[in-house]
Amino acid sequence: MLKNKKIYIALLFLLICGAFAVKIINKREIPVLNYHEIDDDKHTALALSTYEFKAQMRYLKDNNYNAITLDQLLDYMQEGKPLPEKPVVITLDDGYEDNYTNAYPILKQYGLTATIFLISHYINWPNYLTWKEIDTMKDNDIVFEGHTYDHPNLSQIKDDNELKKQLLDSKIALQEHLGYQIKYLAYPCGDYNQHVISQVKKYGYRAAFTVNLGDDAANDNLYTLNRVPIFQMYRHTFFKFWLNLHFPYLMRMIQQARS
Ligand SMILES: [Zn+2]
């Protein structure tokens, strides 16, 4: 009797594992890569060297990835519109000037579209993109979206008027210059809470992105979308990029176990 029970438990376990595996295989997930600065002199985690950035973009091109826009991603997630094979989204946060001088020529060389999340108040500041640079990239396959007014931790803001400035006023300022509707937000430092999400919805964003490591699939919450943050490492930056691109959830588990 006990032996039978053990067999049933083992079978049930295998069945659950099988169902889980099928679910994972059937779930079409899309990686949204997240970069910040592309700079050879800074040597910080957020500043990827041009050599590394180029190696990663070349890898995407050589391995037949298709860079898609956030509109394509969301049309797929919400309406099931078909995507090209091996879709990937490339995003850069904050709008550093090196995105124009260093990243843009590489993206152009490999024919990859990308989205830059802009901090509206920092445009034209030293080390940040100018409107002229933004306009040039806008005409060449780079899309711009919102990253608040001046990059606060949104969950710390208690005043709804301040949240409005960060989420709506910045959105309007970008729209007035770019001439199209800003639909997507990247939370500064990936920071949000339920109230922030309610305001993001209220001010008309279609979706919002965190910095939680993972891919995005059709049934995911549109206001807590995952990304694959890429950091410059002391060593093995490309290998870490490759692991995060292919096994984001495994890497997330390792990341959580370490912290
Ligand atoms: Zn940021």
Q: 79-97: per-residue pLDDT in tens?
A: 999 999 999 999 999 999 9
For residue 192, being part of any structural domain is answered with yes
Place of tokens 């729209």: 175
Ligand 1 centroid to residue 211 C-alpha, Å: 10
Ligand 1 centroid to residue 201 C-alpha, Å: 20
> What average pLDDT does the structure give for the chain?
93
3-state secondary structure of 209: strand
The pLDDT value recorded for residue 17 is: 62
**Domain harbouring 218, CATH code:** 3.20.20.370
Ligand 1 centroid to residue 6 C-alpha, Å: 52
For residue 14, being part of any structural domain is answered with no
CA 241, 247, 249 angle in degrees (round to 5)?
A: 115
Distance between CA 118 and CA 204 in Å, rounded?
17
For residue 4, being part of any structural domain is answered with no
Distance between CA 245 and CA 74 in Å, rounded?
20
In the chain, the percentage of residues whose pLDDT exceeds 70 is 92
Q: Which domain holds residue 138?
A: 33-258
The pLDDT value recorded for residue 14 is: 72
For residue 3, being part of any structural domain is answered with no
Token digits for 182?
Answer: 């800003």
Ligand 1 centroid to residue 7 C-alpha, Å: 52
Provide the pLDDT confidence category of residue 15 given band limits of 50, 70 and 90.
low
Ligand 1 centroid to residue 258 C-alpha, Å: 24
Please state the φ and ψ torsions of residue 197, each to the nearest 5 degrees: -60, -45
For residue 15, being part of any structural domain is answered with no
State pTM to two decimals. 0.89
Ligand 1 centroid to residue 80 C-alpha, Å: 30
For residue 26, being part of any structural domain is answered with no
Which has the closest alpha carbon to 47: 97, 118, 90? 97
Ligand 1 centroid to residue 117 C-alpha, Å: 8
Ligand 1 centroid to residue 12 C-alpha, Å: 45
Least confident among 1-5, 10-14, 143-147, 205-209: 1-5
Distance between CA 34 and CA 209 in Å, rounded?
10
Ligand 1 centroid to residue 175 C-alpha, Å: 19
For residue 5, being part of any structural domain is answered with no
Q: How many domains are there within the chain?
A: 1
Could you write out the DSSP letters of every residue in 78-120? HH-----SSEEEEEEEE-BTHIIIIIHHHHHHTT--EEEEE-G
Which has the closest alpha carbon to 118: 136, 141, 102, 99? 99
For residue 122, being part of any structural domain is answered with yes
Ligand 1 centroid to residue 24 C-alpha, Å: 31
- Per-residue pLDDT tens digits for 140-154: 999 999 999 999 999
Ligand 1 centroid to residue 75 C-alpha, Å: 25
